Every structure is written in C-alpha cells, then in structure tokens.
C-alpha cells in the first residue's frame, strides 16, 4: 500500500501500474481537498467563477442560474465524451486516472472529497476508464479523453474491469461503489487538465528507459562480437566531451564488457609491439554504429532525463482552470490546463526513440551483411547458403518498422489548428504527441527483438558463448530460452513476438527510475 503524498514520484507510478500496488490518501491530503472544496463553495456564492456559475469556453459570457449549475456539470461531461478511434491499453488509462487523481488531491481544484475517494477506489479495484485515442487537442487539457473518465465516474460509459470492457455502472455496483454525485465543479475539474497526455507520457518514459538500457546492452554485445578495441569507450576519451549522457552510456558499456574475453586493448595489438603491415586486415576503427554509440545514445539519454523530469513536474502540478488557492483566499483564472510542456517533451522523446531505432537497424544491418562484418555468414544463416535464409526475412520487418518510426518522428508541437469558436486559437496537440510516441516506442521494441535474435544466432555462428562477458552471456541464455538455435528455416513471427513481450517486461540492466529524475 502506497500513501499518496505530494510530490508523487515516478517510482510510485511504477508500483501502481507495473506491480499492482494499492494507494491510500493521507489525512493531510484529505484535509487539503476538503478545505479547498468548502472555500470554493463559499467563495462562489456571490462572485462570478468560470465553470461554476458560467458556461464554458466561448459560452462563458452566459451566466448559469443556481438551479442549473449541477446539471451544467453533467452536460459538460456527456457532451464532451466524443472520443473515437483506438482504445488506450489499460495501463495507459490507469496511469491517466492516477495522474488526474493526484492533481485533484493537491487541493487547487475545489472538488468534493468524494470525487478523489471514488478515483482511489477505482484504481485499487482495477476499474479503469475506456479512453479513446482521438479527441483531444491538448489546449484545455485532454477534454474529450478525460470526459470519458468522468463519464465512468458518474456511472455511464464503459470501463476495463476483470479483463474486459464492462458497463461502468455494472463494474461500480459489483464493487459496492456509488457513482459520483456532482456538488459544484467536479465535471470541469475532472476533464480540464493534462492528465491523459501525462499518464501516457509517464508509461512512455518507463518503457523508453528500459528500451535505452537494452540498446546499450546490445551495443556492448556487438562490440564483443567484432572484437572491437575498447578505447572508444574509455573514461578518458568520453570525459573529454562534457555531456552527461555520453559519459553514462560509455560507463554502462564498460561495465557490461568488463569481463569479456573478446574485447581487445589497442596498446596490446598496436602500441606495445612493432607493426610491420602496410595494409591492415583488421579495422583500426569500427563503423560508427559500433564505435560512436556513446555519442549517439548520449543525447537520447539526456533527452529522456529531461522528459522524465518534466513529466514528474507536470503530474505534481495543478493543471486546471480556475485555480483555487485557499492560502490567499482567492480564485485565479488562467491557462494551467495547456499541454505544451508535455507535447514538446513527447515530440523530443519520439524523435530520440526514432534515432535509437535507426541505430539498432544499422547495427542489425552490419551483422547481416557479410561484406561489412566479414566474420559472419550472410544474414547470419546457420543453414545452407542459398537453400536457407537465416534472418533475411526479419530484416525486411526491421527496415520497414524503422522507416515508419522515422515518419512518425515528425513533430506535432509545431502543429496548431484553432477551434472552439477560435477560443482555443493555439493548441498543443499533446495527447496526439504522447500517443504517437507510444507507437514509436512499441515499434522500437519490435526492431530490438529482431536484433536480439540476430545476436544470439551470431554468437552460435562464431561459437563464442564462453568468451562473452557475463552480462552478455546472461542475456544470451535468456533469449535462447525463448528462441532455440535454428539452422532450418522456421516461422519467426511467434518467436519475435515472445521476445518483444519479454524485453518489454524485463530489464537488461536494472532499471533505476531515479536515474532519470535526479
């Protein structure tokens, strides 16, 4: 059981989403929510407060009679539950629910305590909103997507419950929970923020961190297979460039290959003995996809660090309008619901992941092309050349998937279509950015799965399992438990899918979530 505190950490999200831990509100959190609600209720009696006694958006100039104010909130929820397209996987929707819960628990929204209490129960009982991909422009936050969350809370629409789509009313009743009753502005407070793009983004960063560690591991492994010199990974060389990410990537690669019998030391081969050759058979320096890994993955490391920090800051922020401030006894109208911070970071993470995919594809091509590596059979074919095909077919999948990622990397942050009677005249498209980033990360895992199967086949082709570093050997064993050595052609798709599932669920290197938020 996790106490929901302020600030909430990335590790808390991981515990709830990936380890199914339950949450509970602290007494101070409950008190803060209650104070905010009572202050707003009293403050709004004789004042004009947007979304409490006025219409919404371009209709804010219409005053709403007291008798209609509760119905106004229900109307807002139902009218904006217009999502279409693909449905978010439950883990992303659950992350959005936790993100919205935490934002409301900060006490800047004036919601009734029952709203946060119901969200807590839904999380703990795995009643997860069915949220559609299409709908939000990310300006007043995720209005459409969050409207589906709010719809579930009032007992309408569908939820994920016990592994299937179920009517929200039925799921709530099965758990002995009552639908939410609106008190003052719960409709607006539930849908007016960045919690869906942030929730998707948080899951994206967790999967992206794991993906990056896998790529670092595979890159170190390829250095072993080609018997690369180790000086391009040295602390001295990488220390002469002042980028933190580059230094971290190089350090991890040095750690992985530390006990390898394959990696060569330049001084032993080229410095400490007289070299007579005028034409060198062995490469003095490897191709860039092998030698420049710290310089290529380093910027991705740094981008991921900044992205993760921004997401944690956003989820700990009041992303709503208006903002209820009990301390100053005031209500502030502004634009904290705008999603530009998340949109920008998701675009950067998507670009970074596309580049990481390109690196994996180039490393894969190196292994498959005998004219480049000069040590492996074509397409790492362990069967009969000409009759069998090895990894030839799988390369097509990796190449086409990489190309898709390159196309999807186009930024959305620079796209804005005015809407809402031009009230929302510049928007973030943050939810679209987060969703497309999710797609690019998922694609990258497919390319990674193909790369890993190629690597284990390459180890068998070179008969060097006993010379690998202990870390590379461990990964070899784990992948081989999924994909047996094959010489005859087999249908690879089921094996590749299993490898993808495995690497999305397991770390190559222990994933320390604090690394990217400290």
Shared-domain flag, residues 270 and 397:
yes
- Reading the block at residue 299, the tokens are 């910027």
Evaluate whether residue 491 is within a structural domain: yes
Q: Has 287 been annotated as catalytic?
A: no
Are 10 and 93 contained in the same domain?
yes
Is there a domain that residue 263 lies in? yes
> Which of helix, strand or coil describes residue 197?
helix
| In a shared domain, residues 313 and 262 | yes
Give the tens place of pLDDT for each residue, 150-182: 999 999 999 999 999 999 999 999 999 999 999
Instruction: Tell me if 62 is assigned to some domain.
Output: yes
Tell me: do 241 and 389 sit in the same domain. yes
Q: Confidence band (pLDDT; 50, 70, 90) for 279?
A: low
Distance CA 181, CA 187 (A): 10
Q: Are residues 171 and 219 in the same domain?
A: no
Domain carrying residue 294: 203-320+336-505
The stretch 55-64 carries a mean pLDDT of 84
Instruction: Give per-residue pLDDT as tens, 313-364.
Output: 999 999 999 999 999 999 999 888 888 999 999 999 999 999 999 999 999 9
Buried b (16+ CB within 10 A) or exposed e, 107-137: bbbbbbbbbbbbbbebbbbbbbbbbbbebbb
Residue ending a domain, among 192, 221, 247, is 192
Query: What tens digit of pLDDT does each residue of 190-240 get?
Result: 999 999 999 999 999 999 999 999 999 999 999 999 998 898 999 999 999
What does the block give as tokens for 126? 């795995």
Last residue of a domain, one of 192, 223, 251: 192
Q: Out of 14, 50, 74, 287, which one is annotated catalytic?
A: 50
List Cα–Cα distances, 272 to 227, 263, 276, 325, in angstroms: 18, 17, 13, 71
Specify whether 356 is located in the same domain as 450: yes
Mean pLDDT on 465-481: 96
108 and 252 in a common domain: no
Give 31's pLDDT tier (boundaries 50, 70, 90).
very high
H or E element at residue 242: none
Q: How confident is the model at residue 60 (pLDDT cuts 50, 70, 90)?
A: confident
What was the pLDDT predicted at 423? 61
Residue 517 counted as domain residue? no
pLDDT for the residue numbered 56: 83
Would you state the structure tokens that stand for residue 406, as one six-digit string? Answer: 């390159």
Confidence tier at 83 by pLDDT (50, 70, 90): very high
* CATH code, 401: 1.20.200.10
For residue 45, give the CATH number of its domain: 1.10.275.10
Residue 500 has φ and ψ, to the nearest 5°, of -60, -45
Query: Within this chain, do residues 44 and 160 fall inside the same structural domain, yes or no?
Result: yes
Q: What is the DSSP string of 383-445?
A: S-BTTB-TTHHHHHHHHHHHHHHHHHTS-STT----BTTTTB-S---HHHHHHHHHHHHHHHH
* pLDDT tens figures, 9-25: 999 999 999 999 999 99
On whether both 255 and 360 belong to a single domain, the answer is: yes
Q: How far apart are CA 451 and CA 365, in angstroms?
A: 9
Asked, for residue 513, whether it belongs to a domain, the answer is no
Candidate from 53-67, 93-107, 162-176, 246-260 with smallest mean pLDDT: 53-67
Q: Classify residue 454 as exposed, middle or buried by CB count within 10 Å of its CB (0-12, 13-18, 19+).
A: buried
**Domain count of the fold of the chain:** 2
Neighbours of 72 (CB within 10 A): 20
């Amino acid at each position: 059981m996790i106490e929901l505190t302020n600030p909430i950490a990335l590790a808390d999200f991981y515990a709830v989403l990936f380890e199914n831990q339950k949450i509970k509100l602290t007494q101070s959190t409950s008190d803060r929510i209650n104070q905010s609600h009572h202050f707003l209720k009293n403050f709004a009696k004789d004042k004009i407060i947007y979304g409490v006694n006025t219409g919404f958006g371009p209709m804010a100039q219409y005053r709403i009679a007291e008798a209609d104010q509760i119905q106004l909130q229900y109307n807002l929820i139902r009218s904006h539950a217009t999502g279409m397209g693909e449905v978010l996987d439950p883990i992303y929707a659950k992350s959005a629910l936790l993100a919205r819960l935490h934002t409301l628990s900060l006490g800047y929204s004036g919601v009734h305590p029952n709203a946060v209490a119901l969200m807590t129960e839904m999380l703990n009982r795995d009643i997860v909103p069915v949220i559609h991909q299409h709908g939000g422009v990310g300006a007043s936050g995720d209005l459409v997507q969050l409207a589906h969350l709010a719809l579930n809370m009032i007992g309408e629409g569908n939820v994920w419950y016990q592994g299937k789509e179920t009517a929200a009313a039925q799921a709530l009743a099965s758990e002995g929970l009552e639908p939410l009753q609106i008190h003052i502005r719960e409709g607006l407070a539930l849908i007016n923020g960045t919690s869906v793009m942030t929730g998707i983004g948080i899951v994206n960063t967790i999967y992206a961190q794991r993906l990056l560690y896998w790529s670092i591991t595979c890159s170190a492994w390829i250095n072993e297979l080609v018997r690369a010199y180790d000086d391009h990974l040295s602390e001295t060389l990488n220390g002469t460039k002042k980028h933190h990410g580059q230094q971290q990537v190089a350090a991890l690669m040095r750690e992985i290959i530390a006990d390898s019998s394959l990696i060569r030391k330049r001084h032993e081969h080229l410095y400490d003995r007289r070299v007579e050759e005028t034409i060198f058979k062995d490469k003095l320096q490897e191709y860039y996809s092998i030698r420049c890994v710290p310089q290529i993955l380093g910027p991705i490391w740094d981008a991921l660090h900044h992205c993760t920090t921004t997401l944690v800051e956003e989820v700990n922020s009041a992303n709503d309008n208006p903002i209820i401030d009990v301390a100053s006894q005031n209500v502030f109208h502004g634009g904290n619901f705008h999603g530009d911070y998340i949109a920008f970071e998701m675009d950067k993470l998507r670009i970074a992941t596309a580049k990481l995919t390109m690196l994996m594809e180039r490393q894969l091509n190196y292994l498959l092309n005998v004219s480049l590596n000069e040590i492996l059979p074509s397409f790492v074919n362990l069967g009969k050349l000409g009759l069998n095909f090895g990894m030839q077919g799988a390369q097509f999948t990796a190449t086409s998937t990489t190309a898709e990622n390159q196309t999807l990397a186009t930024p959305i942050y620079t796209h804005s279509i005015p809407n809402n009677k031009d009230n929302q005249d510049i928007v973030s498209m943050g939810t679209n950015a987060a969703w497309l980033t999710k797609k690019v990360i998922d694609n990258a895992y497919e390319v990674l799965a193909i790369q890993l199967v190629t690597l284990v086949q390459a180890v068998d082709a070179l008969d060097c399992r006993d010379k690998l570093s202990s870390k590379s050997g461990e990964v070899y064993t784990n992948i081989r438990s999924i994909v047996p050595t094959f010489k005859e052609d087999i249908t690879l798709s089921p094996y590749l899918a299993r490898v993808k599932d495995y690497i999305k669920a397991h770390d190559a290197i222990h994933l320390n979530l604090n690394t990217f938020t400290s």
